[in-house]
Amino acid sequence: MLLIHKITIQLTRIEPKFIVLKPMDNQKVMPGASHQPCRANRIEQKLQVHPEDIKKESVRETSLILARMPNIKVFSGSSHPDLAQRIVDRLGIDIGKVVTKKFSNLETCVEIGESVRGEDVYIVQSGSGEVNDNLMELLIMINACKIASASRVTAVIPCFPYARQDKKDKNLDSDKERNIEKWKSIEWKFRSRAPISAKLVANMLSVAGADHIITMDLHASQIQGFFDIPVDNLYAEPAVLKWIKENIAEWRNSIIVSPDAGGAKRVTSIADRLNVEFALIHKERKKANEVASMVLVGDVKDRVAILVDDMADTCGTICHAAEKLMEAGATKTYAILTHGIFSGPAISRINNACFEAVVVTNTIPQDKHMEQCSKVQCIDVSMMFAEAVRRTHNGESVSYLFSNVPY
């Protein structure tokens, strides 16, 4: 009996923690309304929340976020701070403190401004701008966090550098007679001894201390096999499908076109999900960034042609392809690209081309390009990277992102 009495006393001391919502001064209390504390979703009349209650609720929400994502740090390199900020805003956390600078001899120096001991660290650095400097900065940041006892270091690389150097070209000796003019060129003569730079970058990231890689639309998916650590290759396809349906009124009368045979798998996937047809353009390059000839395979007459590719650099290929499509009877031409590098004469070529719009994602900063060319439009994919970070941190699957855009 004494034991029950003690338990009763203890229970009476436990008070429920509710937000007290009081009626406004000029509002009458409805008959039967209770003055006791109650939950917000049970109030049927207009109530005024006091500032102290708002402050308490804000602190509570912050605590919930920290409880949901403990021991996580997100740092940004110099290449794309805007994307990194969008990612942390989506996650509801602060960007990590880091200082990057150059010594007088132009060596990169990185200082991590807060403790990462035992933390799950994510470093956002895209392969754009000064690619070599940004890659070296990423490697140093990874190593700095690793030797500072971070529990795991994940490199978030929206646009993977050196991805186009993923294989050796075939030995041209066997084609000598059929490619006499090419064989005379010094550029073609030595391409069979080209490096596989994408593999080298993979090795460098692993040696620096990266435990995991998150990237988007690798130029060749087999690059994932260059790593001995997990690689999550996200796809821009869900965001691209969403943009097409929302911005191209005639999308049901469209045809998805690949500017080369290598992108056929990508365009067939998009065409299948839109339930439209696809076409491809076979191209032969005279040398890097210069196309010699193009052959269109497919019927684009009286249709909206949508060129889809993983990246565009100098834009010679897509601009030439757009002309080919319009000559073949396409009513309009769009280009949708994951990585808009836009180097050299790219912007002037787009301005002079027959595109309705050239749509890219923000895996690479696009503000400057959009100012220079009104045809360039940008799809924000920060929510996909933020969700990938959240799911990775919580040990959840990222497969959902392969076919859906998180909201």
**Residue count of the chain:** 407
Q: What is the pLDDT of residue 191?
A: 58
Is residue 30 over pLDDT 70?
no
Model confidence at 293, in pLDDT bands (50, 70, 90)?
A: confident
Residues 186 and 310 in one domain: no
13, part of any domain: no
Name which residue leads in pLDDT, 393 or 189.
393
| Burial (0-12, 13-18, 19+ Cβ within 10 Å), 288 | exposed
Model confidence at 177, in pLDDT bands (50, 70, 90)?
A: very low
35, part of any domain: yes
List all residues 6 or more positions away from 389 whose beta carbon is below 8 Å from its beta carbon: 72, 74, 87, 91, 122, 154, 156, 214
- What is the DSSP code (8-state) at residue 48? B
Is residue 43 over pLDDT 50?
no
10, part of any domain: no
Model confidence at 292, in pLDDT bands (50, 70, 90)?
A: low
> With pLDDT > 70 as the criterion, what percentage of the chain qualifies?
75
Residues 57 and 117 in one domain: no
Model confidence at 190, in pLDDT bands (50, 70, 90)?
A: low
Model confidence at 291, in pLDDT bands (50, 70, 90)?
A: low
Residues 163 and 110 in one domain: yes
CA gap 55, 203 in Å, rounded: 49
pLDDT digits (tens, 9 = 90+) for 233-246: 999 999 999 999 99
pLDDT digits (tens, 9 = 90+) for 303-316: 999 999 999 999 99
Query: How many separate domains does the chain show?
Result: 3
Q: What is the pLDDT of residue 262?
A: 82
**Hey, what amino acid is at 223?**
I
Q: What is the pLDDT of residue 407?
A: 73
User: Can you tell me the mean pLDDT for 177-193?
Assistant: 51
Q: What is the pLDDT of residue 294?
A: 80
What tokens appear for 218 in the block?
Answer: 């690798």
Model confidence at 193, in pLDDT bands (50, 70, 90)?
A: confident
Q: Residue 342: left (phi > 0), alpha (psi -120 to 50), or beta?
A: left
3, part of any domain: no
Q: What is the pLDDT of residue 63?
A: 43
pTM above 0.85, yes or no: no
7, part of any domain: no
Is residue 279 over pLDDT 80?
yes
Residues 373 and 393 in one domain: no
Model confidence at 70, in pLDDT bands (50, 70, 90)?
A: confident
Q: Which residues of 9-30 are buried (b: 16+ CB within 10 A; e: fewer)?
A: eeeeeeeeeebebebeeeeeee
1, part of any domain: no
Q: What is the pLDDT of residue 263?
A: 87
Residues 198 and 114 in one domain: yes
Residues 267 and 351 in one domain: yes
Model confidence at 122, in pLDDT bands (50, 70, 90)?
A: very high
Q: What is the pLDDT of residue 290?
A: 58
Residues 288 and 299 in one domain: yes
**Domain containing 348 — which CATH number?**
3.40.50.2020
44, part of any domain: yes
Is residue 295 over pLDDT 90?
no
Residues 313 and 363 in one domain: yes
List all residues 6 or more positions away from 86 whose beta carbon is below 8 Å from its beta carbon: 380, 382, 386
Residues 279 and 165 in one domain: no
Q: What is the pLDDT of residue 167?
A: 80
**Residue span of the structural domain in which 158 resides:** 72-236+385-402
> With pLDDT > 90 as the criterion, what percentage of the chain qualifies?
66
Q: How far from 159 is each of 24, 41, 126, 164, 286, CA to CA, in Å?
A: 54, 45, 5, 11, 26
Q: What is the mean pLDDT of the chain?
A: 83
User: Can you tell me the mean pLDDT for 121-142?
Assistant: 96
HEC secondary structure over 85-138:
HHHHHHHCCCCCCEEEEECCCCCEEEEECCCCCCCEEEEECCCCCCHHHHHHHH
User: Can you tell me the mean pLDDT for 57-63?
Assistant: 47
Residues 292 and 344 in one domain: yes
Q: What is the pLDDT of residue 337?
A: 97
Residues 242 and 232 in one domain: no
97, part of any domain: yes
pLDDT digits (tens, 9 = 90+) for 326-371: 999 999 999 999 999 999 999 999 999 999 999 999 999 999 999 9
Residues 59 and 86 in one domain: no
